[in-house]
A and B are shown apart, each in its own frame.
Chain A
């Protein structure tokens, strides 16, 4: 219990240190754009592929469940709310932790193991400002964008199954969705994906920065990133879902 509290305290202090250097780091937009590309653009294919199949599954399942109550026409609403409010942000965050989070941890951990971070310090360059802050900001910016793309592709997947395969009317599918899904729902998804972006990226850079300088240490740090991010995403999701009700 004590060690868990100590770790939470250390991560909180690390977050504060990171936030302190985020403002000066904004003066180097090139570094941040590069990290948005590394964490975001490089995760795009896996996010789109998973979004498509999650949407298609949602289309199948939704059609079957709603059909039992004679409400197949509400498939668009069900798919949209499910994707925008929960599945889009949560699954994107889990995929992000597995793809970009592990890449961040191992990259920074190896920089630590090969003295690159120490070399920066000796060259009077703050690694928190040059390495951590751009990666943190890049992840926080990329996550909502990825979640939005996941949801949009997911909707097309649901439409592909519901409308093209199962025969739900196209007009009904999209118009009911337009009527029922409001800005509040989209905001909920945005807030969640932003919170997940902060949590997943923070854990990834923290674990990398504090990884032991050995191959095993970097491997363990990477594993911790995935596990801690996944658990934290599900906990935050529950808390935010309750808060938005």
Chain B
């Protein structure tokens, strides 16, 4: 599947198997992320996109296979070594995950205060620069409760880049945003990636938006990456799964319905039978 040389890969997942109880999330997942690129991870809900991010950041460990990030074997890392790797990564959470007892300025300053000894004057300039980059320098004194969804996402983005990470991970960055906020976030992802020279991994099922900025995309389904390529390649693909996902059709290899018994039996059967 990989058309990229291993040397250029900043993150690599090989043969990963991961299950929760009897539910198999990944069964032989292979993918790689090229340094300096924007790589999109797409797929229907429940295909393990967020779980993939948790594997990359060492929050969960695969039962089998390898996860390499920035040259480190993530499942083998514990304690200080894992934290050292995470300091080189930034992550934007779906809901922002801002610390609700800190204002915007302190939220952005938080990773620096906790992980580095920086003079207060330098920290102030650093935070203001990051807030300016996301257009929210004027909101520095606001509390998270006073922000709109789009603003909270941008503050979280400023916080994610404040440590100048090598990899920036976005978990569903467009969910619940109005078109203006979505456009701003899209441009910010592209701009930050190019201006800061970082590698971006974007998990999303907003197909058109994410394809518009991605250098390479993966389509996850059934525990595997069923397709990958550039945005143009995916849009030109004749693969039924890719076509179904890109066109948003209910008909195709990706089931819309959760597995269930016979519909007629359920309607005509006893009330206790669902």
Q: What is the interface of chain A, defined by CB distance below 8 A to chain B?
A: 110-111, 114-116, 118-126, 130
Q: What is the interface of chain B, defined by CB distance below 8 A to chain A?
A: 57, 59, 83-84, 86-87, 89, 91, 93-95, 97-100, 110-111, 114-115, 159, 163
**In the complex, A116 Cα to B57 Cα: how many Å?**
15
Q: Are A116 and B100 in contact (CB under 8 A)?
A: yes
Q: Are B100 and A123 in contact (CB under 8 A)?
A: no
Chain A residue nearest to B93 (CB atoms) is: A115
Given A114-B100, A116-B99, decide whether A123 and B114 contact each other with a Cβ distance below 8 A.
yes
Q: Are A121 and B59 in contact (CB under 8 A)?
A: yes
Q: How many A-B residue pairs have CB under 8 A?
A: 48
Q: Are B87 and A124 in contact (CB under 8 A)?
A: yes
Question: Shortest beta-carbon distance, B156 to chain A, in Å?
Answer: 8
CB < 8 Å neighbour of A124 from B93, B115, B159:
B115
Q: Are B97 and A116 in contact (CB under 8 A)?
A: yes
- A interface: dominant SS: helix
Chain B residue nearest to A131 (CB atoms) is: B99
Kindly list chain A residues whose C-beta atoms are within 8 Å of the C-beta of B57: 122
Q: Are B91 and A122 in contact (CB under 8 A)?
A: yes
Kindly list chain B residues whose C-beta atoms are within 8 Å of the C-beta of A110: 100
Kindly list chain B residues whose C-beta atoms are within 8 Å of the C-beta of A122: 57, 59, 86, 89, 91
The 5 closest A-B pairs by CB, nearest first: A119-B97, A115-B97, A124-B83, A124-B86, A123-B111
Question: Shortest beta-carbon distance, A27 to chain B, in Å?
Answer: 12
Question: Shortest beta-carbon distance, B111 to chain A, in Å?
Answer: 4
CB < 8 Å neighbour of B84 from A118, A124, A125:
A124
**In the complex, A114 Cα to B96 Cα: how many Å?**
9
Q: Are A125 and B97 in contact (CB under 8 A)?
A: no
Question: Shortest beta-carbon distance, B160 to chain A, in Å?
Answer: 9
Chain A residue nearest to B88 (CB atoms) is: A124
Kindly list chain A residues whose C-beta atoms are within 8 Å of the C-beta of B115: 123-125
Chain A residue nearest to B82 (CB atoms) is: A124
Kindly list chain B residues whose C-beta atoms are within 8 Å of the C-beta of A125: 110-111, 114-115
Q: Are A124 and B111 in contact (CB under 8 A)?
A: yes
Kindly list chain B residues whose C-beta atoms are within 8 Å of the C-beta of A123: 86, 110-111, 114-115, 159, 163
